Amino acid sequence: KNCDLGTKRSKCCWFNKKRKEQKNVICACVAPPRNLGRDGFSGSKLTVDLKNCAVQLSGLCLIANSVFAYESSKSENLSKEVKNENGSDVLIECRNVYKSFGEKHILQGVSFKTWLTLLGRQLMTPLGFRWQFSAELIDSFDWCSSRCALVVLILDVLQSWHGEAVGIIGPSGTGKSTILKIIAGLLAPDKGEVYVRGRKRSGLISDDELSGLRIGLVFQSAALFDSLTVRENVGFLLYEHSGMPDEQISKLVTENLAAVGLKGVEDRLPSELSGGMKKRVALARSIICDITKESIEPEVLLYDEPTAGLDPIASTVVEDLIRSVHTKGEDALGKPGKIASYVVVTHQHSTIRRAVDRLLFLHEGKVVWQGMTDEFTTSTNPIVQQGTLMHTDTCISKVCMSAHAHREFLYS
Ligand SMILES: Nc1ncnc2c1ncn2[C@@H]1O[C@H](COP(=O)(O)OP(=O)(O)OP(=O)(O)O)[C@@H](O)[C@H]1O
């Protein structure tokens, strides 16, 4: 509370207002919240500054870990429910997944993991930090008299606690939707494995042994049943598979529709809705669950181009909804939310900026780059640079802009 961060001679500095002293920051750990950049505080700049610092510390892990442990003890025990048998924070893992359609080899060894926590993932795979010093060194280091400061920024930890938001981007036809369908159990991989909470998915969606984590897929086209009303679409699963009375389902449908900003549309048919409304109905359908069950399983939502075809305002509404059902920490009824994490396939910059923490870049059937969204703009990987161009060319003529300018534009 009593500190300011700043820069002096291109070094990151820390000012203690009370003691009126300044120290150089030699290492910091940041759990980036989604709004980091909006408060005039650039996450990427801080990372770059810190990367340039000469001294880096591994002991920070211990400090961050203790904060993490403290925060996790305060949470709604979500961790106990979603940590897998090995005690790891990995929710979904694709290991060397291959998929072909006839002669078309679409996925050619896709591997990645999604994590329950941003912070947990960062500690395990530090981004840009090399952890070199031992804990003893941290203990023996005289922080008070030194001219250096160790700054641990744990921002919005509780928000991060609800699991990371992963974006999958890449050229058209590279297999982004295909990998979502494989994770959701709608397609089987030809080779490779998919693990959900550490348990191998051996077949398709009917796997019984996969209980413990629900996986919901929101299709690109919204995929509503044309001949059913909005109420019947949203409550479909409950009407078919729960013992809840119709009246209770109807009430729950209304509440879930309200949660996505829709009122009085229950009796309409999908053909009477706009594109944005259809997407919101699909979102309501994906978050509704049987509230009469003793325990509601946490869920990972997979969104396939949720904002495709929407105007900028409708896109913003959907993007913020995606964020809010995930991070708000409560469902439509005000009970603790169970959206453990989500994965979103998108081509849209606003979606990347507003609704994604970490990006996976899929290219020619493989994940060729992954990193935090702000790193995407600064990456020197040629494929990523090309990718940023591809992701901006729908908005602006790329002929008159350099790759760097495009990336600046993307995140401006
Ligand atoms: N069931 C299927 N049968 C045959 N080919 C398929 C099938 N599903 C996908 N494909 C082909 O696989 C390729 C990858 O499709 P996919 O939808 O995964 O791409 P994508 O990266 O999501 O593309 P886009 O960004 O345009 O949505 C495409 O060439 C598509 O035609």
Q: How many CA atoms lie within 13 A of 349 on its CB side?
A: 20
In 356-402, alpha helices (H): 373-378, 382-392
Residue 76 has pLDDT above 80, yes or no: no
Q: Atom 25 (ligand 1): residue with closest C-alpha?
A: 172
Query: For the ranges 23-27, 82-86, 141-145, 345-349, which has the lowest average pLDDT?
Result: 82-86
Mean pLDDT of 16-36: 54
Q: Find tokens 């981007």 and name the residue.
A: 169
Mutate to test the pocket of ligand 1, among 104, 107, 181, 366 (most ligand atoms within 8 A of CB): 104
Mutate to test the pocket of ligand 1, among 98, 100, 174 (most ligand atoms within 8 A of CB): 174
Q: Could you tell me what percent of the chain has a pLDDT over 90?
A: 11
Q: Which atom of ligand 1 is nearest to the CA of 175?
A: 18
Using the mean position of ligand 1's atoms as its centre, give its distance from the Cα of residue 173 in Å. Answer: 5
Using the mean position of ligand 1's atoms as its centre, give its distance from the Cα of residue 359 in Å. Answer: 20
pTM: 0.66
Residue 83 has pLDDT above 60, yes or no: no
Residue 20 has pLDDT above 50, yes or no: yes
Q: Atom 29 (ligand 1): residue with closest C-alpha?
A: 173
- CB-based pocket (< 6 A), ligand 1: 101, 104, 106, 172-178
Better pLDDT: 405 or 255: 255
Using the mean position of ligand 1's atoms as its centre, give its distance from the Cα of residue 321 in Å. Answer: 27
In 328-392, alpha helices (H): 349-355, 373-378, 382-392
Mean pLDDT of 18-34: 55
Q: How many CA atoms lie within 13 A of 314 on its CB side?
A: 14
Q: How far apart are the first and last CA of the chain?
A: 28
Q: Which residues contact 222 (CB under 8 A, 6 or more apart)?
A: 270, 275, 278, 279, 281, 282
CB 97 within 8 A of CB 355: no
- Give the whole-angstrom CA distance, residue 250 versus residue 261: 16
Using the mean position of ligand 1's atoms as its centre, give its distance from the Cα of residue 102 in Å. Answer: 12
Using the mean position of ligand 1's atoms as its centre, give its distance from the Cα of residue 399 in Å. Answer: 29
Using the mean position of ligand 1's atoms as its centre, give its distance from the Cα of residue 327 in Å. Answer: 31
Query: What per-residue string of b and e applies to 162-174 under the rule 16 or more CB within 10 Å gives b?
Result: bbbbbbbbbbeeb
Residue 28's closest CA among 76, 67, 83? Answer: 67
160-410 belongs to CATH 3.40.50.300: yes
Using the mean position of ligand 1's atoms as its centre, give its distance from the Cα of residue 170 in Å. Answer: 12
Q: Atom 16 (ligand 1): residue with closest C-alpha?
A: 175
Q: Atom 8 (ligand 1): residue with closest C-alpha?
A: 178
Q: Which atom of ligand 1 is nearest to the CA of 180?
A: 18
Q: Atom 30 (ligand 1): residue with closest C-alpha?
A: 173
In this predicted structure, what is the pLDDT of residue 185?
Answer: 85
Using the mean position of ligand 1's atoms as its centre, give its distance from the Cα of residue 279 in Å. Answer: 21
Max mean pLDDT among 76-80, 159-163, 240-244, 323-327 falls in 240-244
For the chain, the structural domain boundaries read 3-76+119-157, 160-410
User: Please, is 225 exposed, middle or buried when counting C-beta atoms within 10 Å of its C-beta (0-12, 13-18, 19+)?
Assistant: exposed
Using the mean position of ligand 1's atoms as its centre, give its distance from the Cα of residue 179 in Å. Answer: 10
ipTM score: 0.97
Q: Which atom of ligand 1 is nearest to the CA of 347?
A: 25
CA angle at 151 for the pair 137 and 57, rounded to the nearest 5°: 35
Q: Atom 1 (ligand 1): residue with closest C-alpha?
A: 101
The single-letter code of the amino acid at 354 is R
Max mean pLDDT among 75-89, 230-244, 372-386, 396-410 falls in 230-244
- Give the whole-angstrom CA distance, residue 281 versus residue 278: 5
Better pLDDT: 223 or 89: 223
For 238-267, the pLDDT digits (tens) are: 887 777 888 888 888 888 888 777 888 889
Better pLDDT: 412 or 325: 325
In 196-296, alpha helices (H): 230-234, 236-241, 246-259, 275-287
In this predicted structure, what is the pLDDT of residue 255?
Answer: 85
- Give the whole-angstrom CA distance, residue 314 versus residue 310: 6
Q: Atom 7 (ligand 1): residue with closest C-alpha?
A: 101
Mean pLDDT of the chain: 67
- Give the whole-angstrom CA distance, residue 179 versus residue 384: 20
Mutate to test the pocket of ligand 1, among 103, 178, 183, 220 (most ligand atoms within 8 A of CB): 178
